Amino acid sequence: SDTHVVLATLKRSQSELSSFQRKVFKIDDHMGIAIAGLTGDGRSMSKYMRNECINHRYVYESAMPVGRLVRQLADKSQVCTQRSWKRPYGVGLLVAGVDAAGPHLFNTCPSGNYFEYKAMAIGARSQAAKTYLEKHFESFPAATLDDLIRHSLRALQASLSEGELSAANSSVAVVGAGMAFTLLEDDAVL
């Protein structure tokens, strides 16, 4: 919306017994990411992003602009595609953040491409979620935070081929102009 960004993710688990895979990472008070793909690569990228953000805070005592960090990340990913002894990062990120220019949602690819979006879904079986978002995205700028969260959960539901969206297998993260990046897991989602 015009003031907030919401990320909703579906967590997969290896088996009935294991815990669910963590897919949302807080990068800084004003920024966070959700990953789709190789979680190991996602963790390494989040470590890089956290480092850059905190260095920026040390020198400038202010939040790092989201677009600039995403561009640095994309440049890093592109290097991996142009060296014969490296492999591309196998993960796409949805970067949600708020800076001086307002709320932003970016999607990065292993190729080093990145785009800013009003609404986006990534990952396996994300097409159904994208269709839902395409139908409703016009109402997002003016939507309240609760509405926005409901939309994102419904979009997530659309991409589930079977099974219910329960508190245990989904997580929602919100960041806004006055609101630090907050991750809601399990019960808080309800």
Partner 1 sequence: MLPRPTTHSKALGPGVAGPELAVATSAVLDRPPQPTAHHPLTGAQPCFVDPAALGDPRQHTKYPYVTGSSVVAIKYKDGVLVGCDMLGAYGSTKRYKSTQRIHQVNSKCVVAAGGEVSDFQHIITLLDELTTDDYRTDDGIELTPQEVYSYLCRVMYNRRNKFDPLWNSLVVGGVQGGVPFLGMVGMIGTHYTDSHVTTGFANQLARPLFRERQHDDMSEEDALALMYDALKVCYYRDKVSINKFQIAKVTKDAGTSISEPFALEMRWDYKLFAQPTKWAVGAW
Which residues of this chain interact with partner 1, rule CB under 8 A? 58-62, 65, 67-68, 71, 83, 85, 99-101
Minimum CB separation of residue 110 from partner 1 in Å reads 21
Q: Establish how many alpha carbons lie within 13 A of residue 188's alpha carbon, considering only the half-sphere containing its beta carbon.
A: 9
Nearer to partner 1, 17 or 58 (CB): 58
130, 137 in Cβ contact below 8 A?
no
Which is closer to partner 1, CB of 28 or CB of 170? Answer: 28
Specify whether the CB–CB gap between 109 and 70 falls below 8 A: no
Beta carbons within 8 Å of 105's beta carbon, 6+ residues apart:
5, 94, 95, 96, 116, 117, 118, 119, 120
